[in-house]
Every structure is written in C-alpha cells, then in structure tokens.
C-alpha cells in the first residue's frame, strides 16, 4: 500500500477545506436533528442501536468513520465502507406507521442520511464564516458522491450540487413527520447523559456544571441552524431572527475554537493525513 496515498479527496479538495473546521461538531448534531424527522430512518436507528445507553460511543464511532472516509488512505476508506455495508446488510426494522419490515440499507434511507449529513457539514461551516464560493459549494457536494458510493449508493442518484440538494429536500419533505420518536430523540440530543468523568459533578448534585452548559449551548446552536421548515416541524420558531441568532452563535463558537491549539482538536487520522500530504508535496518538488 502506498504510504503517501492521499485518499479519496486530498489537500486540494473542498472536502479537506470544509472538514478542517472544528465547528463541524455542531454540524454533526444538526444532521441528527434532521435525520430524526424521517420516520423510517428514525425507526431504523431506534430498533437497531443502543444510542440511548451508549450515545457517546456511537457518536465517536460515527466521527471516526467520517474522519476515515475524509482523511484515511483510499484502502482505509474503502475498508470502512465495506464494514458499514456488511453491517447494514443484515439489519432490518419495522415501519411504525405501516407495520411493514424494511431493510436499513434501502437507497432512499441511505440517501437521506448522506444528504442531511453533508448538507449540515457544508451549511454549518459556511454560516460559521468559512469563505466558500458557489463553485466550491457545488464542488463539495460532487466530491461527496465518493463517500456516498462507500455506503452502497449509486453516485448518479445522489445530489451533486446545491440546487440538486434543495430540490431533494423539497421532494422528500412530504415523507417527513414529527413523530413521538423524533420528539424523544430531539430531547435526548439536547440533554444526553454526559460521559462518566464529566458527569461526576452531576452525581455530586451539581446538575448544571460547565460541561452541561457548554453542551446545551452547542445543541441549541445546532437546532437553531436547522432549515426553517425543520424548526417549524419541531414546533420551534421559524423567524429570520432565529437564523440570525444562530449565525452569530456559530461564528462566535468558531472564533473560540480557533484559539485552541490544533493539536488538541485534530485526531490521529487528520494528523497522519496531513503528514502524508506534506511528504507528497516534498516528493513532488524534489521530482
């Protein structure tokens, strides 16, 4: 295996530019709020995962998967996709509205998860202040078709531009519902149990210590960044001032994260990818 393989995207891609933003932690939560509005997608998660008892473990596994597809070598990204496809292949769930059984890897469900995720990454980064041209926005969606292929989707069926993403949301909205499961998930995402070390103050009776307040702020910002129609489905305000407040909050959070040394924000996958890119650039200059 080429030790300097740059993976599916590489340092010149819009994908690396977007995912270099630590603010994407907010984007991940935003995508989960959105995904919960799809009854079948929500049923698939609720019936096949222990997200309530292992919320942070599931979040870590998802973040690791995304980091691997973005920053891993081509072989690492393809292996991660193959593992996910094998997992999905054996999972089934029951539609809570019709009682019919369905596969977790139905293309419509995979596409919903993919689009809500990548649109959340892009829109959050942009609203936080990352400068991206319209061409770069379309380029990001086109590049992310490679990630869609890893989960088993035909890239040709995946929105590849901002206009196609907007059309997709318009087409899928009639299928979305504010179900009991969606409401319970939204409450859970807003105030999940903290990891043991962070929850110690709670066990001692300090119910709203700094970690809890910090997370509530992040979750509140993620919810406020939802499209107007999604906030309204949850019963939230769809006013322009809500969006403005969200923009100000996410920009302030991005500035705060910019003050944190990168070594504390970048995991080993990102560091290894940047080291490979540096070696590749050096070799190119030498050649």
For the CA atoms of 142, 143, 149, 151, the dihedral, rounded to the nearest 10 degrees, stands at -110
pTM: 0.91
52 or 158, which is more confident?
A: 158
What Cα–Cα distance (Å) separates residue 159 from each residue in 90, 123, 134, 163, 171?
27, 15, 15, 8, 12
Secondary structure string (H, E, C) spanning 172-230 = HHHHCCCCHHHHHHHHHHHCCCCCHHHHHHHHCCCCCCHHHHHHHHHHHHHHHCCCHHH
Phi, psi of 133 (to 5 degrees): -75, 165
The Cα 253–Cα 248 span in angstroms is: 9
The Cα 88–Cα 93 span in angstroms is: 11
pLDDT tens digits for range 47-87: 988 777 777 777 889 999 999 999 999 999 999 999 999 99
- Res 30: pLDDT: 96
Reply yes or no on whether the pLDDT at 102 is more than 70. yes
Ordered by start, the domain boundaries in the chain are: 14-278
Phi, psi of 94 (to 5 degrees): -110, 130
Percent of the chain at pLDDT exceeding 70? 90
The Cα 1–Cα 72 span in angstroms is: 12
The Cα 124–Cα 226 span in angstroms is: 9
């Amino acid at each position: 295996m080429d030790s300097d393989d740059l993976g599916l995207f590489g340092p010149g891609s819009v994908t690396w530019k977007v995912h270099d933003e630590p603010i994407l932690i907010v984007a991940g939560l935003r995508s989960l709020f959105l995904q919960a509005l799809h009854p079948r997608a929500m049923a698939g998660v609720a019936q096949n995962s222990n997200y309530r008892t292992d919320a942070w473990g599931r979040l870590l596994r998802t973040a690791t998967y995304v980091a691997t597809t973005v920053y891993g070598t081509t072989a690492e990204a393809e292996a991660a996709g193959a593992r996910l496809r094998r997992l999905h292949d054996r999972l089934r769930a029951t539609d809570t509205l019709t009682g019919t059984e369905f596969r977790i890897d139905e293309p419509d469900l995979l596409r919903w998860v993919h689009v809500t995720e990548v649109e959340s990454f892009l829109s959050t980064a942009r609203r936080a202040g990352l400068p991206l041209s319209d061409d770069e926005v379309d380029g990001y969606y086109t590049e992310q078709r490679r990630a869609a292929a890893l989960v088993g989707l035909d890239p040709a069926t995946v929105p590849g531009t901002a206009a196609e993403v907007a059309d997709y949301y318009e087409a899928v909205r009639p299928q979305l519902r504010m179900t009991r499961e969606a409401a319970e998930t939204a409450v859970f995402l807003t105030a999940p149990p903290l990891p043991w070390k962070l929850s110690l103050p709670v066990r001692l009776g300090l119910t709203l210590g700094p970690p809890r307040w910090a997370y509530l702020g992040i979750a509140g910002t993620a919810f406020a960044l939802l499209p107007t129609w999604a906030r309204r489905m949850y019963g939230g305000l769809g006013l322009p001032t809500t969006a403005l407040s969200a923009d100000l909050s996410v920009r302030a959070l991005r500035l705060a994260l910019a003050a944190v040394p990168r070594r504390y924000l970048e995991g080993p996958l990102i560091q290894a990818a940047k080291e490979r890119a540096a070696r590749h650039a050096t070799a190119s200059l030498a050649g």
